Amino acid sequence: MKTRKATTTFRMSVLLVILAAATAHAQGPAPDNSGNFLTRSTMTGDWGGLRSGLAKKGMTFDFSLTQTEVGVVTGGLDSTGRYGGRGDFYFNVDTGKAKLWRGGFFMIEGEVNYGNGANLYTGALMPVNTNQVFPVPLKSGSAAIPAVTFTQFLSPYFGVTVGKYNVTAADENEFAHGKYAKGDTQFMNTALNLVPAALFTTPYTPIGGGLVILPKKDPEAMIVKALVYASSGTATKADWSTFSHDDLSVYIEGRWRTHFFKKTGHQDIIYLHSNEHKTSINQVLIEPGVRELATKPGSWMVSCNFDQYLWEPQPGKGFGIFGRFAASDGNPNFIHYFYSLGFGGKGVGAKRPNDMYGIGAYYINASHPTLTTPNGTQQFLRDEKGFEAYYSLALTPWAHLSPDFQVVHGITPTNILAHVEQGVPLRKIDDPVVLGLRLNLVF
């Protein structure tokens, strides 16, 4: 009954926004939050001048709500449609504009999710609905403050930073990341929002600190980050006791803008290393009653990503290509190699400047973990391939409705333990075909 009521609410929300947008002129948003209800950049507007007034003093607020209805059409584990949603809040303070002191930047993020995103019903390794992964996977109704950071620049080239970080904000990509890589605006599959191997090397919201370097003074032109943070941590807690010498991660990222073909592009390289002891993906459980799991000391991952406009009539508009590659230790990180490649665009002609679209594919070369018991040895996990296509229709500048299509190949049987211990035949799972509908509202 709750699922049916939530689905009805979602459909009514979509219908109301479509009806409201039917009278809107096909134009871009106002340069700020001013303008009428259907043409301004946010639903709630300028709050009678308060919002723009605060922005001039260095304080900005971002609110968004993303609702999704996702279902497995064929294959997978369950063909029932699932409704879910996630709300996001960002508050930023520029201490210079606030006339406090120069060079300081404070940021806090809050988020909550509810409902269900169908991720448990595909059988795939990668979530098909990233919007339902955060802040706590598999927990509906979870709320958290995943990021609280403070950065102080000591010169135009150099700054220090400390706090609790949202690692999904890294690994940016013009066509395959969205604003914060959480499936709100572009692709929905996690593998096409970021490098998934990173999530198995480091926690989602670690505590730590480090350096920020701007070799060209402009963070859009080039930025280098070097952080040390705890290898343990959860989105719902901020515990500095997790920061210890035998539980640390080193994170180094370099990102720079390119101009191949006289068009905008970006390159990004990330290196991650953790000295935390993690559970090994290969286990030998021979002695009856002994269930102590083997561990591996340390884990590492390196990744690179690129985006490149092929047609760019104006900055931030046009279409181009993107791609990512990652390699890891292979154990304890089961994603040994990762590849993704795709095509994306922003704007469809003068009358649809805010629409977005993309097609992408990914491949995960898994390490095939093994479990050895008195009954024999069995491999887990298969290599996984996935394809996704979406179109984000700008009903208004602050409301985007996105139909989404996905296919995943290489589903691992879910009854491997029963197969090893009881000789039960492996369950064959057909490739899931997934359809989704997403409504993103910016307040």
* pLDDT value at residue 290: 57
Torsion over CA: 189, 195, 198, 204 (sign): negative
* pLDDT value at residue 144: 86
pLDDT band at residue 103 using 50, 70 and 90 as cut-offs: very high
pTM of the predicted structure, to 2 decimals? 0.87
Encode pLDDT of 109-155 as tens digits.
999 988 877 888 888 889 999 988 888 776 777 888 889 999 999 99
Encode pLDDT of 192-217 as tens digits.
999 998 888 888 888 899 999 999 99
- Residue 169 predicted with pLDDT over 60: yes
The distance of Cα 313 from the centroid of its chain, to the nearest Å, equals 28
Token reading at 259 = 């101009």
The average pLDDT across 51-71 equals: 92
